[in-house]
Structure 1
Amino acid sequence: MTVNIYDDINKLESTFRSTDEFKKLEEAVALVTADQQANELFKTFRDLQITLQQKQTQGEEITEEEMMNAQSTAQEAQQNEKILAMLEAEMGLSQMIEEVNRVLIKPVQSLYESM
């Protein structure tokens, strides 16, 4: 019998979208998107994070100026109540994703533990 894990994954995606954690993030994103100032600030924050991660991945040096800019942008973003609520909702969702990942990886771990 062939098992199609993708049917189960698609069902899990649908269930995931129905969770309180996802809905909370969805609402928080909508509030940030509706607020032009918060939206622009978050985009700047996100773009800066991506740029620094890319530089780090490519082994490029991050300048002190870039680091200071990143810290002040992050601080400013976290002082915005809507952005902070969105980041907190994302953390809640991330915890759920980590738990799902732990459950999915259990069979692999048990294989290695049996060695």
Structure 2
Amino acid sequence: MMMTVNIYDDINKLESTFRSTEEYVKLQQAVEAVSSDSESNELFKSFRDLQITLQQKQAQGEEITEQEMMDAQATAVAAQENPKILAMLEAEMGLSQIIDEVNRVLIKPVQSLYESM
């Protein structure tokens, strides 16, 4: 007979631990720095909105015009030249490494099932 396991208790505990990591705190501080600076905040919003628009067009099979590509590149360069946005993007990359590692660990049991075939 199998024991009932509530994985959600563990996931909630993991979320709490995740929020207390140095990487998460760094991202949280970087987001607050961007949010509290109107120029950085507007620049980041336009960068994000443009990315979303282009991703949606791509997903729907629509062609992205040369002008849209040029606008996207110019906005990306401007965003990356902004020290607050750059710090936020770097902090996000650090946090992404933790998320990738958690995913690898969670997928391991499934991979081993298939590898045993």
Question: Which category describes the TM-score, using the shorter chain as reference length?
Answer: over 0.9
Residue matched to 1:108:
110
> Cα deviations across residues 57-81 of structure 1 (Å, max 9, x unaligned)?
1111111100000000000000000
User: SS at the partner of 1:56?
Assistant: helix
Q: 2:9 aligns with which of 7, 10, 20?
A: 7
What stretches of structure 2 of length at least 5 have no aligned partner? none
State yes or no: 1:58 paired with 2:36.
no
How many angstroms apart in 2 are the aligned matches of 1:5 and 1:62? 43
Which AA in structure 2 matches 1:97?
I
TM-score by length of 2: 0.97
CA deviation after TM superposition for structure 1 residue 16, in Å:
0.3
Off by >6 Å, runs of 4+ in structure 1: none
**TM (normalized to structure 1)?**
0.99
Say whether 1:36 aligns with 2:38: yes
Cα displacement (A) at 1:100: 0.4
Please give the alpha-carbon distance, in whole angstroms, between the structure 1 residues aligned to 2:48 and 2:106: 29
SS across alignment from 2:63: coil
Q: What is the rounded CA distance, in whole Å, between the counterparts of 2:86 and 2:31 in structure 1?
A: 11
